[in-house]
A and B are shown apart, each in its own frame.
Chain A
Amino acid sequence: MKKLFTLLAAIAITANMQAGNITVKGSDTLVILAQKWAEVYMGEHKDVKIQVTGGGTGTGFAALQNQTTDLCDASRKAKPAEIANCLKAFGKRPTEYKVALDGLSVYVNPENSLKELTLDQVKDIFTGKVKNWKDVGGPDAPITVYSRENSSGTYEFFKEHVLKGSDFAASAQTMPGTAAIVQAVVKDKGAIGYGGAAYGGGSKLLAIKKDEASPAITPTEETVVNGTYPIWRHLFVYLDPAKDKGETAAYLNWIRSDEGQKYTKEVGYYPLPKNLRSN
């Protein structure tokens, strides 16, 4: 009998520990930031265990609807089909939290004399309408376009908001990650690519003009957070509303506090504007 009690107690303790377990899955863009948050938070709260894995925003949503993850990191908004899948799985819309800002920069080779482009010119280059740098005020050289894999949230964001839904040029080279794009841009004189500003090491970040009349703006914390730099997006966390309580809710709250937002800059993203934070 005594043994049975010890066993039960042991089970109770394990169950208790599991209550402090949070699994996070989703966007590869967010994975470094999510790991940073988890690391710091676990350091402060010894009883909480947070497991972070990447795999992509779509993978995160699939896991969310299969209920194999608590939080889903997303670098884009949930698609209607994904919301529908969640509804089919747990009968509720997933709750959405904005957790950080990301500014997307346009990279060119450092030897390229070009300094700025308008949004329309960026669109024309990536859709393949403009094929030579001299048409946008650069040197007389052909343009090689580098893009992300279409599985990337960055790709989708760029397509919807910069290309306004048009297709990328068929000749656009798709690279498996932002770092690979930068690598290629640094090696290729006629190259242009896009990705998070933090990754741009070695390449040249172009200043972007909203239209012909606007000033050219380089992506910095100030210009991204106040919205004057035109290419930026929110990063999200989604979860089943039934799970938005206890440790998970506390963790989400901490992420969106001044304290949690501090870490966004360390890994190359930007903090939420004050009005979107939790405190």
Chain B
Amino acid sequence: MEPLKKNNAPLGWMGIHRGHQARPVEWLAEKLIFLVSLSAIAMVLLIFLFVAREALPVFFGETNTALVQQIIPTAELDKHSDAEIQRYLELTPEQFKNMDKETLKTLMDVKIEALNDVPENFRNDPDAHVNTTDWKYLLKAHQWNGYDQPEYIWQPVGQIKKFNIIPLFVGTLKVTLIGLGFAVPLAVGAAIYVSQLARPRIRETVKPMIEMLSGIPSVVVGVFALIVMASVLQKIFGYQTRLNAFVAGIALGFAVIPVIFSIAEDALTSVPRAYTQAALALGASRWQTSWQIVLPAALPGVFAAAVLGFGRAIGETMIVLMVCSASVMSWNVFDSARSITTTIAAEMAEAVNGGPHYRILFMLGALLFAATFVSNMIGDFVIHRFKNKLEGKR
């Protein structure tokens, strides 16, 4: 071991706050931990960059899904410049360089075959000539051929691919809000009961049991909801669609309750005992104390719990995927819904690599990432405001 330096000795950079020089091993360990924490941030950043990169062509309008496109006959290969052919065949310059004439010709043949494959009844469809990955079609209702009115439609597979993402956003919000509406009162109520009102013995059984809920894999919750809950709830409420956003939301609630409960319970327990004692000494009942003193004092923590619950709910895939997944454009809770995560999970495997559907799914991922990021930021901001207010700071 290294002897400690005298007080007047210059302090090492890492040792400044400890009043002694850090030992090499400690210094190394500290650096390593620092690197590990950095790598977590780097991972998140890299994932976002990857997702965004795959989605970029959609943002720049480089994808084209028009069914009927300009065709260059294979025989005219030599009449066109290399750059034209490369763009026409959607090749990277490198791919183009490594390709012989024969392969280029086959690729051009495939293009023509694709056009010939289009069934007769779609040739003259006005929708066959438009690029459906245009923002206009992604965000606004459009009256497609064969529909009576403009509609928001997500039907990404088929001759004319319809990529309207609004029903997915509506579905995601619908299911998430139902889930939170179910989970927040229950979880916060349970947290108040466990931390303030329950006798120690009851607390010691109830708390681990609620926290154990988080150990149930979401697939299992999904199967349970799909087979049992859907039928029971339909009997109680008597709605028509058996599998709908309501069932999914309630099932989602079960996945979210333990998250909200444990954070809210921590927040409530960490309210200084002096608050409770003062309130009780002034003659407040236990109910008044917990409702009017402890809960307001712990509000930032409870709010943080709800925000984290929101993050968990909006990102949950399996439950929603199993219970309901029709991309209906409707705010009715008893209609079905399709969430963004469900869409990505269910469709990514089959989307043609690098094709428009693939790009749009990545774009949805990027948007979801941005949405959770912003909601967490807002949550953080509000928590700080709350805290400052409670502590009397401005």
Contact = CB atoms under 8 A, between A and B. Distances in A.
Contacts of A223: none
Interface in B113-163: 113-114, 117, 119, 121-122, 144, 146, 151, 153, 155-160, 162
A220 interface: no
Interface stretch (B24-32, B53-61, B194-202, B239-247): B239-247
A180 B225 CA distance: 13
Contact of A165 (B91, B110, B119): B119
Interface string A166-186: 111011111110001001100
A80 B157 contact: no
Given A88-B95, A144-B242, A171 B335 contact: yes
Interface string A244-262: 0000000000000000000
A56 interface: yes
Contact of B326 (A84, A151, A156, A170): A170
Given A62-B353, A151-B350, A159-B158, A184 B243 contact: yes
Chain B interface mostly: loop
A57 B351 CA distance: 10
A80 B117 contact: yes
Contacts of B336: 171, 173
Nearest to A82: B352
Contacts of B328: 170-171
Contacts, number: 133
A65 interface: yes
Interface in B91-115: 91, 95, 99-100, 102-103, 106-107, 110-111, 113-114
Contacts of A173: 241, 243, 324-326, 336
B231 interface: yes
Contacts of B157: 150-151, 155-156, 159
Interface residues of A, number: 47
The 4 closest A-B pairs by CB, nearest first: A80-B114, A151-B350, A58-B350, A56-B349
30 contacts: A55-B349, A58-B350, A58-B352, A80-B113, A80-B114, A81-B114, A81-B352, A82-B352, A84-B107, A87-B110, A88-B91, A91-B103, A142-B240, A149-B346, A150-B155, A150-B347, A151-B157, A151-B346, A151-B350, A160-B158, A164-B119, A168-B155, A170-B151, A170-B167, A171-B335, A172-B326, A173-B325, A173-B336, A174-B326, A174-B338
Given A56-B349, A87-B107, A170-B326, 13 more contacts: A59-B349, A80-B114, A88-B107, A142-B240, A149-B346, A150-B156, A166-B146, A170-B167, A172-B326, A174-B346, A180-B322, A187-B230, A187-B231
Interface of B: 89-91, 95, 99-100, 102-103, 106-107, 110-111, 113-114, 117, 119, 121-122, 144, 146, 151, 153, 155-160, 162, 167, 226-227, 230-231, 240-243, 321-322, 324-329, 335-336, 338, 346-355
